[in-house]
Amino acid sequence: MPLEELRNTVALIDKEIIALIARRQKAAREIGVIKHREGLPIQDSGQREAVLERVLDAAVEQGIDPAAVQRIFSILIGMSEETQREFTGEGNLP
């Protein structure tokens, strides 16, 4: 496959990744509403560890660097927590 075609493929995949992140953030917002309503804390270290373990296993299955995937998901978890803070007034989002 020519270089430009491969770059176009990567660009399309990037758009898909962004759409998936947006879906994840929407779910995080809904989780934030529930946590706020039920008086639950935003941060849940058990859930964070479960997610990081799950993505580590998935990365290994796919043959990609599990440490890099865990770093990416740490960022995503942080984004989710920030989104959830919107409902407590603690967030920094506009």
- Look at residue 93 and tell me if it is in a domain: no
Query: CATH number of the domain that 59 lies in?
Result: 1.20.59.10
Cβ–Cβ under 8 Å, residues 66 and 60: yes
Looking at the domain assignment, is residue 90 inside a domain? no
Q: Is 54 within the bounds of a domain?
A: yes
- The answer to whether residue 9 sits within a structural domain is yes
Is 47 inside a domain boundary? yes
Token pair belonging to 1: 């496959």
Higher per-residue pLDDT: 1 or 62: 62
In tens, the pLDDT along 30-55 reads 999 999 999 999 999 999 999 999 99
CB 1 within 8 A of CB 52: no
Each residue's pLDDT tens digit, 68-84: 999 999 999 999 999 99
How many domains does the chain fold into?
1
Residue 8 structural domain: 3-85
Dihedral angle, C-alpha 29, 30, 36, 38, nearest 10 °: -160
Residue 78 covered by a domain? yes
Q: Residue 91 falls within a domain, yes or no?
A: no
